[in-house]
């Protein structure tokens, strides 16, 4: 794997602090797959040649080198630029033994470090006079020894209740609680590995749809194309208009809250956003404070905002870069309707000896880009 030019794969493993694996392990690596999807936990799968007389079969596997909770860091260097693809832990191993020489394999499956936040059910832990952002920062700080640093964005609608009014409690695992707080505010929570191995950033905030876009995906442009084929779809029933009802404390009279524009959470990418053909009542908002109800309603609107999606596969050597999920990328060659900037919803990295491809999905809220020109 390490000899693929101009792609170089680096594999580090260890109980808590990962270190470069022995050369025999690198030579036995048949393939590596890393999947990163917005809104879901990232995962990886490594496949090794399990030679009968090899180091893995006789020494490392019996010694627990691939056991659950062993840390794995995968980074790839393309044209001299390193990118950390995964910082996670092993969850499962499978051994396939064959009578055919060279057909026995060891497959190791794992997930990113958020799995560590989902292993222990916590009792009811109080958070008096603490906003959702402050609670997330306090929870993430417990995992600093794994190289996790928090990047917490305060919620759009301040929610710091007085202890005499209400005390919020955590129930369930740390990950479940943080994810619940994120969804209630239209935010996301995920770990972004890097920029160096052993370090991850825990991000709590709105989806990042700003910044410098990645090099454009070009299709249907003869020699300038770096993607052979892309497929786009426009789902007219995807977007929903949430409706929230709250009670005015002084009068106990119910009223419908106005729903803010989704653009306050995520800057628009399309000139023609999809209309909301459905209306859906958000349950349980009548008993909540107005800031909580507003945040939850806006979150529901953001969940269904992306009506346009695109998908395809690229060869990294031809593209010249590693396409990263949860960032912007431009598309050209698909016509005025579907060209322009998109949010990269998911990327699956497929590495094997002699090749490196990526399957990707893109998303935005409508047709015709606000910025027709994209980065070369």
Average the pLDDT over 24-38 and give the result.
96
Specify the DSSP element, H or E, that contains 10: strand 7-14
Measured in residues, the chain has a length of 376
Given a cut of 70, is residue 53 above it in pLDDT?
Answer: yes
What pLDDT is stored for residue 26 in this prediction?
94
Beta bridge partners of 270: 369
Q: What is the number of domains present in the chain?
A: 3
What pLDDT is stored for residue 258 in this prediction?
67
What pLDDT is stored for residue 3 in this prediction?
44
Pair (21, 105) in one structural domain: yes
Of residues 106 and 102, the one with the higher pLDDT is 106
Domain end residue (candidates: 205, 232, 250): 205
Pair (200, 159) in one structural domain: yes
Given a cut of 60, is residue 5 above it in pLDDT?
Answer: no
What pLDDT is stored for residue 286 in this prediction?
62
pTM: 0.89
CA distance 160 to 132: 8
Task: Compute the half-sphere exposure of residue 88: CA atoms within 13 Å on the CB side of its CA.
Answer: 28
What pLDDT is stored for residue 254 in this prediction?
66
Tens digit of each residue's pLDDT (9 = 90 or more) over 180-210: 999 888 899 999 999 999 999 999 999 989 8
Given a cut of 50, is residue 355 above it in pLDDT?
Answer: yes
Is 364 among the domain residues? no
Of residues 138 and 164, the one with the higher pLDDT is 138
Average the pLDDT over 21-29 and give the result.
95
Is residue 283 helix, strand or coil? coil
Pair (12, 103) in one structural domain: yes
Could you tell me the pLDDT band of residue 2, with boundaries at 50, 70 and 90? very low
Pair (138, 168) in one structural domain: yes
Tens digit of each residue's pLDDT (9 = 90 or more) over 238-294: 888 877 776 666 566 666 666 666 777 788 999 999 988 877 777 666 666 767 777
What pLDDT is stored for residue 61 in this prediction?
96
Pair (36, 96) in one structural domain: yes
Nearest 5°: CA angle at 146, between 140 and 151?
Answer: 40
Pair (244, 194) in one structural domain: no
Containing structural domain, residue 279: 240-303
Could you tell me the pLDDT band of residue 49, with boundaries at 50, 70 and 90? very high
Is 140 among the domain residues? yes
What pLDDT is stored for residue 242 in this prediction?
79
Specify the DSSP element, H or E, that contains 331: strand 328-332
Largest CA distance in the chain: 79
CA distance 197 to 262: 35
Q: Is 309 exposed, middle or buried (0-12, 13-18, 19+ CB in 10 A)?
A: middle
Residue 158: CATH number of its domain = 3.55.50
Average the pLDDT over 346-360 and give the result.
95
What pLDDT is stored for residue 293 in this prediction?
74
Pair (63, 46) in one structural domain: yes
CA distance 138 to 250: 35
For residue 158 the two structure tokens come to 């301040």
Pair (109, 132) in one structural domain: no
Could you tell me the pLDDT band of residue 163, with boundaries at 50, 70 and 90? confident
* DSSP category for residue 274: P
- Which is nearest to 179 in space by CA: 118, 253, 245? 118
Could you tell me the pLDDT band of residue 158, with boundaries at 50, 70 and 90? confident
CA distance 36 to 120: 24
């Amino acid at each position: 794997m390490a000899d693929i030019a101009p792609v170089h794969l680096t594999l580090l493993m260890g109980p808590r602090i990962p270190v470069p694996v022995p050369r025999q392990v690198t030579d036995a690596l048949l393939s590596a797959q890393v999947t990163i999807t917005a809104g879901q936990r990232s995962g990886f799968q490594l496949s090794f040649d399990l030679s009968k007389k090899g180091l893995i079969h006789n020494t490392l596997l019996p010694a627990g080198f691939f056991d659950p909770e062993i840390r794995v860091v995968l980074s790839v260097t393309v044209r001299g630029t390193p990118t950390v693809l995964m910082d996670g832990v092993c969850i499962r191993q499978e051994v396939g033994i064959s009578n055919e020489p060279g057909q026995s394999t060891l497959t190791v499956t794992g997930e990113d470090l958020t799995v560590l936040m989902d292993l222990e059910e916590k009792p009811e832990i109080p958070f008096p006079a603490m906003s959702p952002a402050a609670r997330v920062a306090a929870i993430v700080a417990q995992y600093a020894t794994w190289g996790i640093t928090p990047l917490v964005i305060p919620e759009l609608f301040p929610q710091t209740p007085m202890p005499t009014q209400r005390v919020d409690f955590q129930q369930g695992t740390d990950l479940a609680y943080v994810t619940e707080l994120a969804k209630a505010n239209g935010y996301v929570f995920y770990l972004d590995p890097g920029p160096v191995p052993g370090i991850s950033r825990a991000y709590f905030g709105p989806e990042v749809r700003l910044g410098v876009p990645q090099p454009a995906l070009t299709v249907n442009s003869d020699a300038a194309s770096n993607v052979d084929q892309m497929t786009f779809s426009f789902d007219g029933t995807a977007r929903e208009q949430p409706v929230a009802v709250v009670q005015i404390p002084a009068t106990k009279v119910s009223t419908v809250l106005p729903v803010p524009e989704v653009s306050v959470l995520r800057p628009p990418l399309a000139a023609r956003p999809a209309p909301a053909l459905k209306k859906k009542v958000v349950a349980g908002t009548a008993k909540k404070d107005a800031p909580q109800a507003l945040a939850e309603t806006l979150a529901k609107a953001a969940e269904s905002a992306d009506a346009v999606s695109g998908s395809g596969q690229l060869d990294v050597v031809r593209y010249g870069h590693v396409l990263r999920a949860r960032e912007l990328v431009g598309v050209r060659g698909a016509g005025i309707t579907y060209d322009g900037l998109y949010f990269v919803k998911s990327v699956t990295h497929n590495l094997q000896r002699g090749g490196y491809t990526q399957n990707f999905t893109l998303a935005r809220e409508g047709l015709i880009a606000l910025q027709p020109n994209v980065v070369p």
